[in-house]
Structure 1
Amino acid sequence: MEPTASEGARENPWAWQAGRNPYRGTAFQILDLDPDLTGRAAIKAQVRKRRQRITRSADRFPVHGRVLAPAEVNAAEEALNDPAGRLTAELLTHRPERPGPDPAELAEEFAETDPPESAGPTRIGIDRRVLAGLVPPPAPREFVPLWTEEGAH
């Protein structure tokens, strides 16, 4: 007997289920909630705000192009109230990239630097005495068949 979609999700939450990417549409994305937000009151206020928005005008607040239903908001809230569900949602949520140096500034800085000084191309020489010791012996000129076909001479 094959597992149902929900059993499969419990078995491997990172696998696609019924054509759905598990990284798109996590509980945090559905609730428009920062995974670092703490405090039950703050979380409940954000969930209530999201539920009102979805109830009033769901098409204005899609998640990755998908219009949400109030039932999905309720399921996401339940998932975050469960410690195992919250942990799974946190693991499926990609953190925003940390700000780093500005690529334009790095390119400008690179353009201003002088190239390293080089001594010129080094001459490559081949010592034939050493090379002769590295080359394998020549293959025999006669071919010895490994097997013979019946009836062939």
Structure 2
Amino acid sequence: MSERLQTGDTAPAFTLPDADGNEVSLADHQGRKVIVYFYPAALTPGCTKQACDFTDNLEVLAGAGYDVIGISPDKPEKLAKFREKESLKVTLLADPDKKVLEAYGAFGEKKLYGKTVVGVIRSTVVVDEEGKVERALYNVKATGHVAKIIKDLGI
């Protein structure tokens, strides 16, 4: 079970392929705030709702200085399908070996329909311009989560 990040922790560095197979690193966003969100699977109802919410609010978030990156265990090809089908504008990264998910505390035991299972824990980590964790939210809801983030960040 991976450790959850706390405010003030250094955000774990990562480099992962995006939907087009291009490498994207957290370091590429140095000097900007980054909202990194972790979701279980592309092309599923809850994850689609969440990704569309981030896309719909991307201009507001970008205007406030935030980049948005979504990470799931899906392969780049599936992320490309997801992006095309839903006209997503957020950067989607593939973490099939789940190393980044684990580093961020977004993979482990969770409750699903009353059973304990091991999988992706829907989570959002806000990283500041210095690469430090500004806030870490775990077991978030797919619906209404983006509005809550915007409210909490005072955007």
TM range (shorter): under 0.3
TM-score, normalised with respect to structure 1: 0.28
Question: Larger helix proportion, structure 1 or 2?
Answer: 1
Higher normalized contact order (CA 8 Å, seq sep 6+, divided by chain length): 2
TM-score, normalised with respect to structure 2: 0.28
The structure that has the greater radius of gyration is 1
Question: Larger strand proportion, structure 1 or 2?
Answer: 2
